[in-house]
Chains A and B, each alone.
Chain A
Amino acid sequence: MAQVVVVTSGKGGVGKTTTTAALGAALAQEGQRVAVVDFDVGLRNLDLVLGAERRVVYDLIYVSQGNVKLSQALIRDKRLETLYLLAASQTRDKDALTDEGVAKVMGELRESFDWIICDSPAGIERGATLAMRHADVAVVVTNPEVSSVRDSDRIVGLLDAKTDKAARGERMEKHLLLTRYDPVRAGRGDMLNVDDVIDILSIPLLGIIPESEEVLRASNLGSPVTISNTKSAPARAYNDAAQRLMGADVPMVFPSDRSGLFSKLFGRKAA
Chain B
Amino acid sequence: MNWFVPFRRRKSASVARERLQILLTHERGTEGHADLIPVLREEVLAAVARHVPVDVDKVQVKIERGEAVSLLEIDIELPCDAQPAKRRAVARRATRSQRLAVSQAH
Residues of A within 8 A of B (CB): 145-146, 149-150, 153-154, 157, 186, 188-193, 196, 199-200
Contacts and interface: CB of A to CB of B under 8 A. Distances in A.
A269 B64 CA distance: 26
Interface of A is mostly: helix
A182 B21 CA distance: 22
A190 B20 contact: no
Contact of A200 (B11, B12, B14, B20): B20
Given A191-B13, A196-B13, A146 B19 contact: yes
Contact of B12 (A149, A150, A189): A189
Contacts of B16: 145-146, 192, 196
B17 interface: yes
Interface in B1-35: 11-14, 16-17, 19-21, 23-24, 27-28
Contact of B17 (A157, A190, A196): A196
A124 B23 CA distance: 19
A193 B13 CA distance: 8
Interface centre among B12, B14, B19 (most CB of A within 10 A): B12
| Top 6 A-B residue pairs of the complex, sorted by shortest distance between their CB atoms | A189-B11, A196-B17, A189-B13, A146-B16, A153-B24, A192-B13
A128 B27 CA distance: 20
B26 to A, nearest CB: 11
A188 B13 CA distance: 9
Interface residues of B, number: 13
Given A153-B24, A193-B13, A200-B20, 4 more contacts: A146-B16, A153-B27, A199-B17, A200-B21
Interface string B67-100: 0000000000000000000000000000000000
A234 B80 CA distance: 51
B70 to A, nearest CB: 15
B11 A149 contact: no
A250 B84 CA distance: 53
A150 B11 contact: no
Contact of A154 (B14, B17, B19, B27): B27
Contacts of B17: 192, 196, 199-200
A145 B13 CA distance: 9
Nearest to A187: B13
Nearest to B23: A150
A190 B24 contact: no
Contacts of B12: 189-190
A178 to B, nearest CB: 14
A200 B11 CA distance: 18
Contact of B24 (A150, A188, A189, A191): A150
